[in-house]
Amino acid sequence: MSELFDVNFIIGHFQYWLGIILMMTGLFVVVSRGNLVKKVVGLNVFQTSVFMLYISMGKITGGTAPIFTGNPQEVYSNPLPHVLILTAIVVGIATTALGLALIVRIREEYETIEEDNIQHLENAMQRKEDQDAGAMI
């Protein structure tokens, strides 16, 4: 049991704990909220947790910024994960923009951005189509 409550282990990995909390918060928001904008916000939180995972990976205790100083013994942070995440951030922004644009269009067509209401309208459309189909058979 004492291994489970190893304080050093818990504190030493705090960035992972934060990452997991953010990740689960984001996913939970995406799944549980009916408002489409809130879903996009949840998606952003979820993606941010992954950015944190990558960025914390590159950090080295006592490391400086990765700038060549002439001292070969210099300890510096790994810049590669940061660069990767720059790409992922750009992708995230594009996704958010596209998602919001789709929400605007959905609002124009359905006059609501609540998932339940949209589902209700779509079910009604489906029922009408099924009735039409049934009338023909």
Partner 1 sequence: MFSAPFTFAALSQHFPILQVVIPLIAAPLAVFIGVTSIAFLLAFAASITSLIISYSMLMQVIDGSVISYHIGGWAPPWGIEYRVDAANAFVLLILSAISTVVLPYAKTSIEREIRASAQTLFYTCYLLCFTGLLGMVITGDAFNVFVFLEISSLSTYVLVALGAERDKRALTAAFNYLIMGTIGATFFVIGLGLLYMMTGTLNMADLANRLPALSDNRTVQTALGFIVVGMGLKLAIYPLHLWLPNAYTYAPSAVTAFLAATATKAAIYVLLRFMFSVFAPDFTAATGALNLIILPFAVIAMFAASIIAVFQADLKKTLAYSSIAQIGYMLLGISYFSHTGITATMIHLFNHAVTKAALFMAVGAIVYQTGTSFIPKLAGLGKQMPWTSAAIVAGGLSLIGIPATAGFISKWVLISGALEKGWWWMAMLIVASSLIAVIYVWQVVETLYLKEPVGDVVVKEAPLSLLIPTWILVIASIYFGLDTELTLSSARAAADALLGTAPLAAGAGS
Residues that bind partner 1 (CB under 8 A): 27, 30, 36, 39, 43, 46-47, 50, 53-54, 57, 81, 84, 87-88, 91, 94-95, 98-99, 102-103, 105-106, 109-110, 118, 122, 125, 129-130, 132-134, 136-137
Query: What single string gives the DSSP state of each residue in 93-123?
Result: HHHHHHHHHHHHHHHHHHS--BHHHHHHHHH
HSE, CB side, 13 Å, CA atoms: give it for residue 116.
Answer: 3
Q: How far is the CB of 6 from partner 1 (least distance, A)?
A: 17
Q: How far is the CB of 109 from partner 1 (least distance, A)?
A: 4
Residue number, 18 or 50, with CB nearest to partner 1: 50
Residue number, 69 or 117, with CB nearest to partner 1: 117
Q: CB-based burial of residue 113 (10 Å sphere; 0-12 exposed, 13-18 middle, 19+ buried)?
A: middle
